[in-house]
A = this chain, B = another copy of it.
C-alpha cells in the first residue's frame, strides 16, 4: 500500500500512488505571507494546509474538532511528513485532499494530497499521525461515539 505513512516516509518512494476517492477536497488560496524569497509557498505552510484539511474533515463527519476539544480530548500530532513535488505560488488555488487511513480509539492517521486547481500535476503529499489525549495530556481513548462518526465513510 503506497499511501501508508511508512512508504510515504521513504525518500526512495518514487512510485507514489494517488489517493483514490472517497476523499474530502478543500480549496485554499496561497497567501502572500505564505511565500518566501524563492517566490514559492514556504515548506511550513503545507502543514497548515494539512491542518485545515483535518478541520474540514472532522466537520464533514459531524464532529467539529472544536467540539472534540470542548469535550476534553485532543488529537495531538506525533508525526508529520510531507513530500514536495512542485512549487505553489502566491494566489494559486491549492486543492487539499484528505483521507483517513487509520482510526483506533487512541490513534488516527490522515493522508493528504495537494494539487493545483485546474492542473493535473501533484504538488505534494504527506501524512500526520495523531494520538488521543485527555485534558491532562495523557494518552486516552476517544469516546466511542466520536470514533464511530469519524470512521463513517465519506459520501463519494
Q: Which of B11, B39, B78 contacts A79 (CB 8 A)?
A: B11
Which one, A44-52, A110-118, A141-149, is touching chain B?
Answer: A44-52
Question: Smallest CB–CB gap between A39 and chain B, Å?
Answer: 4
Chain copies in the assembled complex: 4
Say yes or no: is A21 at the interface (Cβ < 8 Å to chain B): no
* Smallest CB gap from A131: residue in B: B84
Are A81 and B84 CB-contacts (below 8 A) given A6-B12, A31-B52, A44-B44?
no
Query: A interface, how many residues as a size bin?
Result: 35 or more
For residue A74, CB closer than 8 A to chain B, the reply is yes
Contact across chains for A55 and B91 when beta carbons are under 8 A apart: yes
| Interchain CA distance A137-B72 in the complex, whole Å | 21
Interface residues of A (CB under 8 A from B): 5-6, 8-12, 29, 31-33, 35-40, 42-45, 47-48, 51-52, 55, 64-66, 69, 74, 76-85, 87, 89-91, 109, 128-129, 137
